[in-house]
Amino acid sequence: MHKKPVNHGDIPSFFDMSKQNSDTMRPDDKGRQFVTALARGLQILSCFSANARELSGAQLAKLTGLPQPTVWRLCHTMLQLGVLIRTEGDRLRPGLPVLQLGHSALAGFDIVELARPHMQEIATRYRAACGLAVPQGLHMVMIERCHGDNPLLTNLRRGSTVPISSSGLGWSYLAGTPAVDREPIFAAIEREDGERWEKCHAAFSAALAEYEETGFIVNSGSFHPDYHNIAVPIFNAQGQFHCGINCGAPLSTLSPTQLRNDVAPRLLALARMLEASRVLE
């Protein structure tokens, strides 16, 4: 069974990203029906993650930027409802109702439905394109594609195919496949797509080395001369490659630094969120 790559560094959760978006929303954007107390309670819950399972009131106040008396009043209400539970050292953690809500939200969602709004948010933010694809023969088939506002994006959509040999999504499949199982794939590529693979093989090898360190693979110019993208493999509950997810744009609108420093953490967070959901069981 193939093991997932090691988590290198702190990857922000999607709750963190949603918080960033809500923080920039003006009061008049929220409307008269907006309930501030509810929003603040949800903001508190969003501070908890796999790396922060228990937090104190002071920590929650610092993370949210809310006054500590406000945080305590909200936490007191959630404690009474069982949404939060008190632990040792006067710390708090989410209770079972939060878990039940999560399961309810995910029930009936397949991976495309679950991934689509987050893919679109990334694509819109960076004027890029995000794709979700599965392997079929020596190609990757797009099962979802989201576009930002950019006339220079490649003309791909749901149902389009890209070669495994030269595409970021294809490279995510190769990177997410155990080394011993790659050899038959390489042999088939050399036999049926040898000319293209000869041009891309060295770039893939360099990208694979970076993937081992970062968890994402970079394809710069191999699929299209002026197009670069990053891709991340997504594994099922058994640790096997399920699909790849990528984000890319022309070099003229998305710099390599942005791609690695800004887009990559978001794409990694989305991939890990999809793996943690129950849609891949």
Indicate which CATH number applies to the domain containing 63.
1.10.10.10
Please tell me whether residues 248 and 154 are part of one structural domain.
yes
| Whether residue 124 sits in one domain with residue 210 | yes
**pLDDT at site 104:** 62
**Residue finishing a domain among 106, 131, 151:** 106
- Say what the pTM is: 0.66
Q: What are the pLDDT digits (tens) for 140-159?
A: 999 999 999 998 887 888 88
Residue where a domain stops, chosen among 106, 125, 152? 106
For residue 185, the domain's CATH number is 3.30.450.40
pLDDT band with cut points at 50, 70 and 90 for residue 240: very high
Q: Note whether residue 10 is domain-resident.
A: no
Q: Are residues 101 and 121 in the same domain?
A: no
CA 261 to centroid of chain Cα atoms? 14
For 199, half-sphere exposure in the C-beta direction (CA atoms, 13 angstrom radius) is 13
Domain count, the chain: 2
What was the pLDDT predicted at 14? 41
**Angle, CA of 6, 10 and 11, to the nearest 5°:** 85
How far is the C-alpha of 109 from the C-alpha of 130, rounded, in Å? 19
The 3-state DSSP class for residue 178 equals coil
Residue 23 is predicted with a pLDDT of: 44
Residue ranges making up the domain that contains 264:
111-276
The answer to whether residue 151 sits within a structural domain is: yes
pLDDT, tens digit (0-9, with 9 covering 90-100), for 73-88: 999 999 999 999 999 8
Lowest mean pLDDT among 148-152, 233-237, 270-274: 148-152
Closest CA to 240 of 178, 182, 185: 178
- Are both 83 and 193 inside the same structural domain? no
Which of 77, 106, 135 is the endpoint of a domain? 106
* Pair (136, 235) in one structural domain: yes
| 138 domain residue, yes or no | yes
Least confident of 57-61, 104-108, 242-246: 104-108
Percent of the chain, pLDDT > 70?
85
**Is-contact 245 172, C-beta < 8 A?**
yes
Instruction: Provide CB contacts within 8 A for 204, sequence distance 6+.
Output: 171, 174, 222
